Amino acid sequence: MTPYRLSTGGLIDRKRPVSFTFDGKQYEGFAGDTLASALLANGVSLMGRSFKYHRPRGVMTAGAAEPNALMEIGTGGRREPNTRATMQEIYPDLHATSQNRWPSLDFDIGAANSLLSPFLSAGFYYKTFMWPKSFWEKVYEPFIRKAAGLGRIAEEADPDTYGKAWLHCDLLVAGSGPAGLAAALAAGRAGAKVVIVDEHAIAGGHLVDTREVVDGKSAQAFVEDAVAELRGLPNVTFKTRTTALAWYDDNVVALVERKQKHVAAPEANRAVEILWRVAAGHVIMATGAEERPLVFAGNDVPGVMLASAMRRYLNRFGVAVGRNIAIFTNNDSAYALAAEAEASGITVAAIIDTRSTAPSWTGRARVLTGSEIIATQGGKALKSVTVRTGAKEETLSVDALAMSGGFSPIVHLACQRQQKPVWNEDLQAFLAPDTNGALTPAGSVAGAYSSQQAFNDGADKAVEALTRLGFDAATPAADFADKTPGNPSGLWLPGDVKGKAFIDYQNDVHYKDIGLAVREGFDHVELAKRYTTNGMATDQGKLSNINAIALIARARGCSIAEVGTTTYRPFYTPVSFATLSGTHYGTHFAPVRSSPLHAWSLARGGEMVDAGLWYRPMYYKQAGDTDMMASINREVLAVRAGAGICDVSTLGKIEVTGPDAAKFLDLLYCNDFGKLAVGRARYGFMLREDGIPFDDGTTSRLGENVYFMTTTTAYAGPVLAHMEFCHQQHWPDLDVRFVSVSDQWAQMAIAGPRAREILASLVDEDISEEVFPFLSAKEVTLGSGVVNARLFRISFSGELAFEIAVPAGYGPSVADAIVAAGAIPYGVEALNTMRLEKGYITHAEMNGMVTVADLGFDRMVSRRKDDFVGKHMFGREGLVRENREQLVGVRALKAEDRFTAGAHVLKIGDQVSLENDQGYVTSSVWSPVVKGYIGLALVKGGRNRIGEKVRVWNALLGTDVEAVICSTDHLAEANGGKNA
Amino acid sequence: MASLIDCPHCGKRPREEFTTLGSAVTRPSPSADSETWTDYVYLRDNPRGMHDEFWHHADGCRRWIVVSRNTFTHEFGGTRDAAGIAPMISPTEKTSQK
């Protein structure tokens, strides 16, 4: 027989039918159904295939721990693999597909693996596939990967959006069963800020799965009223479909809220899932307890499920899992299921109780005490079970079997911060460790198993926590008709097993695998886990770990406490990468930082390249440019013959002011700034405290106490942080202020012999060579006082050059005026070519190892100053020794030869070896002035080797060319000594 | 690691707003000998226990602060501004603490 929908009952909306498909076939459920409950209601009990043996599997649970009913949900970019059918709500036109089967769920070729099972025992990976070694990569691994694996990942981009946010509250309640509701009621009524979450669509936890009577009404009505009261309180946030995933330091709890995973068409402007981080004053962990499966042969045939799951399907969803069922238990809890099933017209053939005495039972079902199930019959659906009572065996014809091996508190959250759960001998369960009071387990997670006990425990523990938080809270009360205290159950294990009794359903770890692992020496719980793969599936051993631990303990002859548990780590249930990344994808992953001249460059044919978050024009493509090199060379030659304009707004710009500004700059830079006159600019190095250059740039003195510093583009942020550290930590008494003004100014370099003439036509002041010579800096106005600007007579090209900074918004119009006056736009490629032709350095040369002296700037270092960052280390023996690598120029001997940065320098005739290495090329470029490849290189004792011919060798590119070591100033060599 | 850092200027803020530099060692005087400077630049304690570190509230008030935290338990021992600090506890006390 098959499962079916009862004519009444359940919290589903029978007025709202919902149709969906499973493996291409259409079914109908009701709003409020999960995929699992809807499939059961349609008589579908085969929902998946196991991982290793491809055994037919039905649904085992009705919640987060589901190991079997894993499915692919959705289509296209929304397809999600390994979704638990027990957690997925149905929506119109939901498409679900079974996994791990071929060609179909009903007929799966992989099931032949069952015949191979003697070779697939614990550790089979390590045994079977060891030999021959060469087979691993080409034969074994591809085979295993094809055979294994669950669902398929979506190949298209996910069209939905995901979010991340913070929440703050006094009390976070994880779980809305009796304990959670009581805690939230206590806190909500006391006026505390409460967040209460439940992973299901319906609140109430275990309560709504029962027919208990509370305060004279049904448990379901009681929950509805309590939820309505809580939702009505402005200080309470009630989130269903929300899982508490992880507990972090400072009582921060991560939640995932599934906002639109249960709707057919998610609204595009709302997140489908939100990752919340909750900063909670206190956490009440009312996460409940997980029912333990019993270990017996054939405990995985579709139709066998946990008693609590069967009870949930019955009462929450109005679904009978069978018409003629049996119940196998080692504790009292399953008797309530028996009574409710009988009341719903389901025949309970027998209650098979492992104990010698059963609780009082007035129903029709036979109670077989001192009994156990030793086998089940049926392949894809349960047909019968074999029961052994003493020496007697009998076969009962049943179409479903509920099992209950007692309960394991869901202690995950409390154990995620390196604390292990603690075995409690009385309760025969692992309980949460003492977490120093910031998180309190309440309800069945703390061993208060009956609904009344759980409610009272939640109320008491919340009041205690609230009192500590300074709230005056009253203890809420509820009167449960059933006053029987919940009784803990021991762990039941069979004496022996014939056939396969599964421990871990998803990974197909069975009874004998555990014993084998212990016999082969993998008897530590962490080793046994990895050797058998028990607890390593997507359910992370929620059902299996406890039985595995008990079996290890028995095999080792020690207590369960001695075996202990494996390590608990976040997250409690799987979370998608999309949720974890939140909004940080696409352009939100790396936002575009636009210079004030970004659009201006694009409009003029600029081909942009990313530089950190910035985009800079590589070159400006113009009609007639045959390729990139043509554009670059055209720009270089045009600048050197006339004038060009380049956007240098991305340089870091920091304004430094205050009476101690000069003193501060003297401490930051290795060279002298104190004596810099107003109206002058100076190039300088900042060192790290170990004496190695950190960044370079020019700083200008614009007024008595006003300095304008520039940094390289990449180091704008680090330099500002470094300055803040130096000022705030080292020298807090200095009267100095500084601020980044990088985004406030559009800055342009105007280079070339016509640069002065062009600028003179725009600048109001006299900028002739006599009044504004090299390294001048001053504030000027443009266009008869319309635009304030800062003008610097500095060069990065070897040409007569200026940099002009104007307020960001004026950038494009000033740039237009400069172009109109005769400058051509040039990009960073031409900029780089020209700086290399002149021998100027960048961070390619300041590589974190070279000294100022290695770079040829030894004379710049102040000998006058007592102190500056890096002063006390830069003179160390190793940094001043002979034969260090020094910066030199390097030039290919033949015009057609090419070398690139990273190429090594070797003496002519030397073999390639580490010992023979003379240094390496830091930057290289084809120079249209030299008409050949030039570069800068760090070469051992390089400055004494000018004129030496060397090999420039690069194995990666397969180049090996002859070059000559030369002055860094290629331009001067080519032009016979022209200077800027 | 901490989820929230109690900035002495801004109060509790998510740790993502901060960057960290390392041990809160103070810069020697310019006249200190080379051994002292070498210690300052290169040598660090690696205590199991309370540890003072320089943190920067980079996406907040931009102040450098000293964060005292337990490297073993993740427990926080407090924060203060980095201006003119002296070590909170001596290095010997640090290493003997659990």
- What is the pLDDT, as a whole number, of residue B92? 39
**Which among A268, A245, A277, A257 has a CA at the least distance from the CA of A78?**
A268
CB A671 within 8 A of CB A861: yes
Contact (CB<8Å) A279/B3: yes
Q: What is the per-residue burial (b if ≥16 Cβ within 10 Å, else e) of A278-307?
A: bbbbbbbbbbbbbbbbbbbbbbbbbbbbbb
The residue written with tokens 């959006």 in the block is A161
3-state secondary structure of B30: coil
A324/A3 Cα distance (integer angstroms): 10
Neighbours of A103 (CB within 10 A): 8
> CA A443, A444, A447, A449 torsion: positive or negative?
positive
Instruction: Please state, for a pLDDT cut of 90, what percent of chain A lies above it.
Output: 89
- Nearest CB to A873 within list B3, B41, B63: B41
CB A500 within 8 A of CB A536: no
Nearest CA in chain B to A729: B83
Q: What residues of chain B lie within 8 A of the CB of A252, using their CB? A: 3-4
Is A487 or A172 the better-scoring residue by pLDDT? A172
Coarse DSSP helix, strand, coil percentages of chain A, rounded to the nearest 5 percent:
25, 30, 45
Q: At B87, is the pLDDT very low, low, confident or very high (cuts 50, 70, 90)?
A: very low
For an interface test with A, give the residue of B17, B27, B29, B73 to mutate (most A CBs within 10 A).
B27
Question: Could you tell me how far CA A904 lies from the centroid of its own chain?
Answer: 39
Q: At A100, is the pLDDT very low, low, confident or very high (cuts 50, 70, 90)?
A: confident
In this predicted model, what pLDDT tens digit does every residue of A274-292 receive, in sequence order? 999 999 999 999 999 999 9
Q: What residues of chain A lie within 8 A of the CB of B28, using their CB? A: 872
Is A146 or A18 the better-scoring residue by pLDDT? A18
Contact (CB<8Å) A724/B62: yes
Q: What is the mean pLDDT of residues A458-475?
A: 98
Backbone angles phi, psi at A295, to 5 degrees: -100, 110
Query: B1 in contact with A at a CB cutoff of 8 Å?
Result: yes
Alpha helix positions (H), A233-366 = 307-316, 334-343
Q: What residues of chain A lie within 8 A of the CB of B84, using their CB? A: 732
Q: At B95, is the pLDDT very low, low, confident or very high (cuts 50, 70, 90)?
A: very low
Backbone angles phi, psi at A886, to 5 degrees: -120, 155
- Nearest CB to A867 within list B30, B54, B82: B30
Strands, E, within A107-235: which ranges? Answer: 162-174, 194-197, 213-214, 217-218
How many contacts (CB atoms, under 8 Å) link A and B?
63
CB A186 within 8 A of CB A236: no
The answer to whether residue B40 scores a pLDDT higher than 90 is: yes
For an interface test with B, give the residue of A247, A248, A249 to mutate (most B CBs within 10 A).
A249
CB A5 within 8 A of CB A322: no
Residue A549 CA: distances (Å) to CA of A493, A497, A523, A890: 11, 17, 10, 69
Residue A532 CA: distances (Å) to CA of A502, A507, A528, A834: 12, 9, 6, 65
Q: What residues of chain B lie within 8 A of the CB of A279, using their CB? A: 3-4, 12
Contact (CB<8Å) A249/B3: yes
Backbone angles phi, psi at A956, to 5 degrees: -65, -40
Nearest CA in chain B to A866: B30
Give the torsion through C-alpha atoms of A30, A36, A39, A45, to 10 deg: -160
Q: What residues of chain B lie within 8 A of the CB of A417, using their CB? A: 74
- What is the pLDDT, as a whole number, of residue A289? 97
- Indicate the residue type of A212: E
Q: What is the mean pLDDT of residues A410-416?
A: 97
CB A285 within 8 A of CB A364: no
Nearest CA in chain B to A717: B58
Residue A688 CA: distances (Å) to CA of A422, A874, B20, B41: 51, 9, 17, 10
- Cis peptide preceding A857, ω within 30 of 0: no
Q: What is the mean pLDDT of residues A940-946?
A: 96
Q: Which of residues 842-901 of A touch B (CB under 8 A)?
A: 866-867, 871-873, 876
The residue written with tokens 């100053």 in the block is A865
Contact (CB<8Å) B1/A249: yes
In this predicted model, what pLDDT tens digit does every residue of A841-860 receive, in sequence order? 999 999 999 999 999 999 99
In this predicted model, what pLDDT tens digit does every residue of A759-793 receive, in sequence order? 999 999 999 999 999 999 999 999 999 999 999 99
The answer to whether residue B88 scores a pLDDT higher than 50 is: no
- Nearest CB to B14 within list A166, A689, A873: A166
- What is the pLDDT, as a whole number, of residue A146? 59
CB A362 within 8 A of CB A267: no
**Which among A18, A89, A92 has a CA at the least distance from the CA of A262?**
A89
CB A725 within 8 A of CB B54: yes
Q: What residues of chain B lie within 8 A of the CB of A689, using their CB? A: 27, 40-41
Neighbours of A496 (CB within 10 A): 8
The residues facing A885 across adjacent strands are A940
B41: distance to nearest CA of chain A, Å?
A: 7
What tokens were used for A817? 């005026």
- What is the pLDDT, as a whole number, of residue A53? 85
Contact (CB<8Å) A721/B19: yes
Q: What residues of chain B lie within 8 A of the CB of A736, using their CB? A: none
- Indicate the residue type of A447: G
Q: What is the mean pLDDT of residues A738-747?
A: 97
- Nearest CB to A728 within list B3, B41, B64: B64
Helix axes A307-316, A334-343, angle to 10 degrees: 40
Question: Could you tell me how far CA A321 lies from the centroid of its own chain?
Answer: 40
Q: What residues of chain A lie within 8 A of the CB of B83, using their CB? A: 728-729, 732
CB B61 within 8 A of CB B9: yes
Residue A717 CA: distances (Å) to CA of A690, A762, B5, B41: 20, 33, 22, 22
Contact (CB<8Å) B4/A279: yes
- Nearest CB to B41 within list A250, A690, A730: A690
- What is the pLDDT, as a whole number, of residue A144? 62
Nearest CA in chain B to A417: B73
Nearest CA in chain A to B86: A729
**Which among A475, A435, A443 has a CA at the least distance from the CA of A253?**
A435
Q: What is the mean pLDDT of residues A298-310?
A: 97
The answer to whether residue A148 scores a pLDDT higher than 60 is: no
- What is the pLDDT, as a whole number, of residue A122? 75
A696/A687 Cα distance (integer angstroms): 9
Q: What residues of chain A lie within 8 A of the CB of B3, using their CB? A: 248-250, 252, 277, 279
Q: In the structure, how many helices (H) and strands (E) does chain A have?
A: 23, 51
ipTM for this prediction? 0.91
A876: distance to nearest CA of chain B, Å?
A: 9
In this predicted model, what pLDDT tens digit does every residue of A560-613 receive, in sequence order? 999 999 999 999 999 999 999 999 988 888 889 999 999 999 999 999 999 989
Kindly report the average pLDDT of chain A as a whole number.
94
What tokens were used for A769? 């060579």
For an interface test with B, give the residue of A250, A417, A719 to mutate (most B CBs within 10 A).
A250
Q: Which of residues 52-71 of B touch A (CB under 8 A)?
A: 54, 56, 58, 62-64
Nearest CA in chain A to B19: A721
In this predicted model, what pLDDT tens digit does every residue of A235-246 receive, in sequence order? 999 999 999 999
B82: distance to nearest CA of chain A, Å?
A: 5
Alpha helix positions (H), A8-94 = 35-41
Q: At A522, is the pLDDT very low, low, confident or very high (cuts 50, 70, 90)?
A: very high
Q: In what order do the strands lie in the sheet with A824-825?
A: A777-782, A787-792, A801-807, A745-751, A644-647, A824-825
Nearest CA in chain B to A247: B3
Q: Which of residues 7-36 of B touch A (CB under 8 A)?
A: 12, 14, 19, 21, 27-28, 30-32, 34
What tokens were used for A266? 């998610």
Contact (CB<8Å) B83/A728: yes
- What is the pLDDT, as a whole number, of residue A129? 61
B39: distance to nearest CA of chain A, Å?
A: 11
CB A91 within 8 A of CB A27: no
- Nearest CB to B64 within list A690, A729, A871: A729
Q: Tally the residues of chain A.
A: 980
As a three-state string, the secondary structure of A384-426 is EEEEEECCEEEEEECCEEEEECCEEECCHHHHCCCCCCEEECC
Q: Which of A18-32, A100-114, A633-647, A708-722 has the lowest mean pLDDT?
A: A100-114
Please name the helix (run of DSSP H) or strand (run of DSSP E) that holds residue A803, with its range, or none.
Answer: strand A801-807
A621/A93 Cα distance (integer angstroms): 52
Burial of residue A931 (CB within 10 Å: 0-12, 13-18, 19+) is: exposed
Q: What residues of chain A lie within 8 A of the CB of B30, using their CB? A: 866-867, 871-872
In this predicted model, what pLDDT tens digit does every residue of A38-89 receive, in sequence order? 999 999 999 998 888 889 999 999 999 999 999 999 999 999 999 999 999 9
Q: What is the per-residue burial (b if ≥16 Cβ within 10 Å, else e) of A243-274?
A: bbbbbbbbbbbbbbbbbbbbeeebeeeebbbb
The answer to whether residue A524 scores a pLDDT higher than 90 is: yes
Please name the helix (run of DSSP H) or strand (run of DSSP E) that holds residue A457, with its range, or none.
Answer: helix A451-468
- What is the pLDDT, as a whole number, of residue B93? 39
- What is the pLDDT, as a whole number, of residue B98? 34
The answer to whether residue A823 scores a pLDDT higher than 80 is: yes
Contact (CB<8Å) B30/A866: yes
CB A404 within 8 A of CB A307: yes
A967/A830 Cα distance (integer angstroms): 21
Q: What residues of chain B lie within 8 A of the CB of A166, using their CB? A: 14
- Nearest CB to B74 within list A249, A732, A872: A249
The residues facing B6 across adjacent strands are B12
Domains annotated on chain A, with CATH: 1-156 (3.10.20.440), 162-290+409-468 (3.50.50.60), 295-404 (3.50.50.60), 493-558 (1.10.10.1100), 598-650+744-835 (3.30.1360.120), 652-740 (3.30.70.1400), 882-980 (2.40.30.110)
- What is the pLDDT, as a whole number, of residue A143? 62
A105/A370 Cα distance (integer angstroms): 38
Please name the helix (run of DSSP H) or strand (run of DSSP E) that holds residue A682, with its range, or none.
Answer: strand A681-687
CB A263 within 8 A of CB A271: no
B89/B76 Cα distance (integer angstroms): 14
Nearest CA in chain A to B21: A725
Q: At A378, is the pLDDT very low, low, confident or very high (cuts 50, 70, 90)?
A: very high
A295/A403 Cα distance (integer angstroms): 10
Q: What is the per-residue burial (b if ≥16 Cβ within 10 Å, else e) of A364-375?
A: ebebbeebbbbb
A909/A950 Cα distance (integer angstroms): 9
Q: What residues of chain A lie within 8 A of the CB of B42, using their CB? A: 690
Domains annotated on chain B, with CATH: 4-96 (3.30.2270.10)
A299/A297 Cα distance (integer angstroms): 6
Q: Which of residues 343-362 of A touch B (CB under 8 A)?
A: none
Please name the helix (run of DSSP H) or strand (run of DSSP E) that holds residue A737, with its range, or none.
Answer: strand A737-740
- What is the pLDDT, as a whole number, of residue B84? 72
